[in-house]
Amino acid sequence: MLRQMMTFDLDQVARYEALFADPSPEAMYALEPRAFEWFVAYVFFCAGYQVEYVAEQHFPDGPGVDLNLYGDEAARRPVARIEARRYQPDHNLIDVRDIAAFWGMLQLAGGEPGYLITTSDFNRNARAAAQLENAEGKLRLVNGEDLVRYITYIRGSRIRDAHGNVRTPTPTPPDWLLSPPHNSARSHAFALTVTNNKGGVAKTTTTLNLGLALAQRGKRVLLVDLDGQGSLTADLPLPAPAAGARRRPAPLPRRDVSLNSYFSGEAPLASLVQPTRFERVWLLPSHPELHRMDTGGVARPDAELAFMQAIHSPELVAPAPVGAEDAQPEPFDWILIDTPSAQSFYTRIALGACDAAIIPINVEAFALNGISGAFATAKAMRALVTRDDRTVRMLGCVITRWKSTANARKEEAILRTALPQLPISLFRTIIPYDERIEQAHLAITGGAMRNLFGFAASIAAMGYNGLCDEMLEKAGAR
């Protein structure tokens, strides 16, 4: 029989995208049975698959399932089959007989893996039966809550293809849904990502000075530079080679490791932690070639989860100082992650790995554009990493480089009205424009030990100290 891959008309796309924007098991159950099958097909189409509708091809004249998934149109055999069950959420649970029937149908239809997808859930005996039959990992159960997670992740991981369809560039299966929770074994550190899809908003400056402020409060801080420009790395040179360097500028030692080694698979993340000239501050350094290794802001769930696990690994600790190698390594209290401006793979992994995020903003027209993009990515990544909490923990937006002008005050009022609808709030603290920020950057990169907090009467330093206190209050950090 000649295969006919599914296509979707404009009305269907509009209807399904509305459900994509606000998915829930109840909303999917409200669809008619055939419409639910087509919606599931649309989800997997958006996830990069070619989908064949075979619900009317009953066994033995057909596979006896609802959908066949293909990696591309030229594929001769499906990569997986789907049975979609529209059951009332939390009431009609799939039982062991459904599992046995689906497993048997998969075997008769050719032995390809299969997803049994429902708007409801599976009872205990059904899950036990699936594990018993699932020696080769071919029987995969997706309940209503996990289907919502999958939709949320795919929605924030798509790009427009040459035909105008918004899809992931390669097939993205929901197999990560079946893994155990990804936050079971993790370090003590609280991870904070500083992000905004818009450039020039002081992300690096905010990351650096929050890290220094935390270190002044006795915290052990790891800063992670995921921006190929490497500004944060330049602001955190290696320790001076001589004690006298504390009193005068000294040549900056060259770093011979960077995050390139992790992303190329050459070294574990924990082995790349570097000391800096500032007490209680360490760094995972950037490198200009990070830009070349960026795969873009699309779905790569395996790599995204791997970074999350690496950043929270108990093995990621502050290395012992030179001359005290026998000392016990100490865990970090805080991990602060700096991100590039564009939507990228690095932005995604930073938002997936963090416990919370802060968005620096300039008060100007179009400020909301970068915020909404970061928020959408954060929701997708939160859906990837946890099944317990799909909410996005945004600590808030912080206004940076503030100059009190009539236009700035007008734009600030607009922001204060619009942000709660995302929902996200503004920090009370505002970071004023201060020329000493640039002086501090020049001093550090010139080999001095002086940072922003070493300048007398720096209004920006006072602002970042206040922001640090407010952040600690909001984070409730462990």
Q: Where residue 141 sits, what CATH number does that domain have? A: 3.40.1350.10
CATH number at residue 414: 3.40.50.300
Residue 180 has pLDDT above 70, yes or no: no
Q: What's the confidence (pLDDT) of residue 366?
A: 67
What is the domain range of residue 302? 190-475
Residues 365-402 have pLDDT tens digits of: 667 777 877 888 888 998 888 755 545 588 999 999 99
Asked if 224 and 171 sit in the same domain, the reply is no
State which of 147, 178, 209 marks the end of a domain: 178
**Coil, strand or helix at 181:** coil
Q: Within this chain, do residues 132 and 225 fall inside the same structural domain, yes or no?
A: no
With helix as H, strand as E and coil as C, how does 372-389 read?
HHHHHHHHHHHHHHCCCC
Mean pLDDT of 434-447: 80
For 297, the token pair is 């802001």
Maximum distance among all Cα pairs of the chain, rounded to whole angstroms: 84
Within this chain, do residues 164 and 194 fall inside the same structural domain, yes or no?
A: no
Between 242-256, 388-402, 451-465, the lowest mean confidence (pLDDT) is in 242-256
Residues 251 and 355 placed together within one structural domain of the fold = yes
Tell me the mean pLDDT in the region 350-363: 92
Q: Does residue 235 sit in the same domain as residue 174?
A: no
How far apart (Å, rounded) are the C-alpha atoms in residues 134 and 130? 6
Best CA proximity match to 463, nearest among 438, 439, 428: 428
Give the model's pLDDT for residue 70.
Answer: 96
Tell whether the model's pLDDT for residue 336 goes beyond 80.
yes
Tens of pLDDT, residues 123-159: 999 999 888 776 577 899 999 999 999 999 999 999 9
Is the domain of 35 the same as that of 168? yes
Number of domains in the chain: 2
Final residue before a domain boundary, out of 121, 155, 178: 178
Q: What sign results for the dihedral spanned by CA atoms 466, 467, 468, 469? A: positive
**297 in a structural domain:** yes
pTM of the complete model: 0.89
Residue 297 and residue 421: Cα distance in Å, rounded? 25
Could you tell me if 232 and 143 lie in one domain? no
Strands of 241-371, DSSP E: 274-275, 281-284, 317-318, 330-331, 334-338, 356-361
- Bond prior to 319 in cis (omega within 30° of 0): no
Whether 19 and 123 map to the same domain: the answer is yes
**Last residue of some domain: 138, 155, 178?**
178
**Residue 85: half-sphere exposure toward Cβ, Cα within 13 Å:** 22
- What's the whole-number average pLDDT of the chain? 87
Which own/partner contact pairs does 108-112 have at CB distance under 8 Å and 24+ positions apart? 108/59, 108/60, 108/64, 109/59, 109/63, 109/64, 109/65, 109/81, 110/63, 110/77, 110/78, 111/138, 112/77, 112/78, 112/79, 112/80, 112/81, 112/138
Residue 307: predicted pLDDT: 94
Confidence of residue 225 (pLDDT cuts 50, 70, 90): very high
Backbone dihedral region for residue 265 (phi beyond 0: left; psi -120 to 50: alpha; all else: beta)? left
Looking at the structure, tell me whether residues 279 and 399 fall in a common domain.
yes
* Per-residue model confidence as pLDDT tens digits over 48-95: 999 999 998 887 777 889 999 999 888 889 999 999 999 999 888 999
If we measure between CA atoms, which residue out of 299, 302, 307 comes closest to residue 226?
Answer: 307
Q: How does strand 114-118 pair with strand 80-85?
A: parallel
Separation CA 391–CA 379 (nearest Å): 7
d(CA 192, CA 350): 9
CA 410 centroid distance within chain:
33
